[in-house]
Structure 1
Amino acid sequence: MADELVHYAVQRGIATITLDSPHNRNALSAQLRRELRDHLTAAIADDAVRVVVLAHTGTVFCAGMDLKEAGGASTEQQGVNEFPAILEQLWTSPKPVVAKLAGPARAGGVGMVAACDIAVASETATFAFSEVRIGVVPAVISVTVLPRLLPRAAHELFLTGETFDAERAVRIGLINASVPADGLDAEVDRYTKMLALGAPNALAATKEMLREPRTGDMEQDFTDMLELSAKHFAGEEGQEGIAAFVQKRKPSWVPQDN
């Protein structure tokens, strides 16, 4: 039986999913994709999980598709049809997902970073959309990447394949923070603790709201948002949150150590 390439652990409401395939720079092999999907499914289904962290071992976060497997393979065998499901799981997860990068991300790896709600990288991490340099198109990852990037930067970096650093990744909207390597754990911990303060249903509804396009009709948008707001004000979480505020205590969903 092959060794596990993706590990899963839950502690104090934080599910950590760790890519552990350093021999091929955490490339998206068939086994890694399968295990990653399974662990994401488990985290989303577990009511005890409040936040998901996507991390890695080794010096590289993810090098993209496993090109050794892709050479001469059919589209289905390459994982082109399977990888969108992983990006969609990350993007639509009702629980916030935080990407933790201690090293580079390339191609599909950058697509996963963009699909996460929050991304924190070491200052030494680098990024590149390297697809055009091997004769392919960054098509699938564009679905999650383009909503994050400044348009000028997207054209430049998709077309040139140039490598860029974490500082620029922050400036163009790909990641949230670039920190010294020895501060990465603390910064991710800071984000996960803040996310755990949010009510689970409110977080899920807020994520869904952020994904939904506006109608272009301001009156209709206000009507829709008033309905959403009223639903959650009157809901169990909303009433508990208001009561906790008035009574100067933590809401029931906040972990005791937060």
Structure 2
Amino acid sequence: MTMASETLVRVRSENGVTTITLNHPERRNSLSMAMLEALSDVFTRIAGDDETRVVVLAAAGNVFCAGHDLREMREQFGSHDFQLRLFQQCSKVMQQIVNLPKPVIARVAGVATAAGCQLVASCDLAVAEQGARFATPGVNIGLFCSTPMVALSRNVTRKHAMEMLLTGELIDAARAEQMGLINRAVEAEALDETVYRMAATIAGKSGHTLRIGKEAFYRQLEMPLDQAYDYTAGVMAGNVQANDAQEGISAFLDKRDPTWKHE
């Protein structure tokens, strides 16, 4: 990572949990090209880091992420090439999260709007403080949230997604939990405890098993029912051959704790 990237994104690792923090609060942690490139670099590095088993995505300041940097976009109004590269880079980062062989938990404090809401929806799990707010408000400024729609529509029902996309209105954390955009809405003082307890629970599992399971989850979602069962039957049969699966089954039958080798 460059010095600029390290300024925009902070990374801290402990006990198998790596926390990635968006660190540009003065610009509401907006997804500028530089921020997106920094995030992409971090996810690329973490994908090959055997010590990391769970990722927490957080943000500095009182806004989780306000979406794309509109000032940057306005400066480039005359460049269709830049706008296309910006949205393609954003799409790349969102897919990196989904394809990352580690679970990603969004820790949401403050507002997550437009591509910021997309960022939350792209994570595998999300926990938000009760004061958090979410929206896809592009329609309010004449720019429909078409790329955020991809992640949003894969996490909530069609009518809930369309309501957010067509009205552009903010919803609170309780409503976001009810819709399935986030897993839990908690008191602000309980946010870190909840997030890192969840992360620690997951980090205590076999990293190899988590990698297999996350990949299979997203792949089977796009398949017809019969193909999904055929695919996952093969996944499980292969999973049984792994050292950790055999250790876990034996430990359960022997009434002892498993010792994972993450392979």
**TM exceeding 0.5:** yes
Q: Does residue 101 of structure 1 match 2:102?
A: no
Q: CA deviation at 1:76?
A: 4.0
> Alpha carbons of 1:221 and 1:127: their partners in 2 closer, same or farther (altered >3 Å)?
closer
1:43 matched residue in structure 2: 46
Q: Percent identity?
A: 38
2:154 matched residue in structure 1: 147
Q: CA deviation at 1:225?
A: 2.6
The 5-angstrom pairing of residues 153-192 of structure 1 reads 153-192=160-199
Which is further off, 27-36 or 4-13? 27-36
Q: CA deviation at 1:217?
A: 5.4
The 5-angstrom pairing of residues 1-258 of structure 1 reads 2=4, 4-73=7-76, 74-78=79-83, 79-212=86-219, 213=221, 215-216=223-224, 218=226, 220-253=227-260
Which is further off, 68-77 or 100-109? 68-77
TM-score by length of structure 2 reads 0.91
- Equivalent residue pairs, number: 254
Does structure 2 retain, via aligned residues, the 8 Å contact 1:198–1:254? no
C-alpha distance in structure 2 between counterparts of 1:226 and 1:141, whole Å: 32
List gaps (5 residues or longer) in structure 2.
none
C-alpha distance in structure 2 between counterparts of 1:63 and 1:193, whole Å: 28
C-alpha distance in structure 1 between counterparts of 2:136 and 2:204, whole Å: 35
SS at match of 2:162: helix
Q: Which structure features the higher share of helix residues? A: 2
List gaps (5 residues or longer) in structure 1.
none
Q: CA deviation at 1:215?
A: 4.3
Does structure 1 retain, via aligned residues, the 8 Å contact 2:247–2:260? no
AA paired with 1:92? N
Q: CA deviation at 1:221?
A: 4.2
C-alpha distance in structure 2 between counterparts of 1:62 and 1:163, whole Å: 14
AA paired with 2:20? I
TM-score by length of structure 1 reads 0.92
> Alpha carbons of 1:150 and 1:223: their partners in 2 closer, same or farther (altered >3 Å)?
closer
RMSD between aligned alpha carbons? 1.9
AA paired with 1:66? D
C-alpha distance in structure 1 between counterparts of 2:223 and 2:168, whole Å: 35
Q: CA deviation at 1:214?
A: 5.8
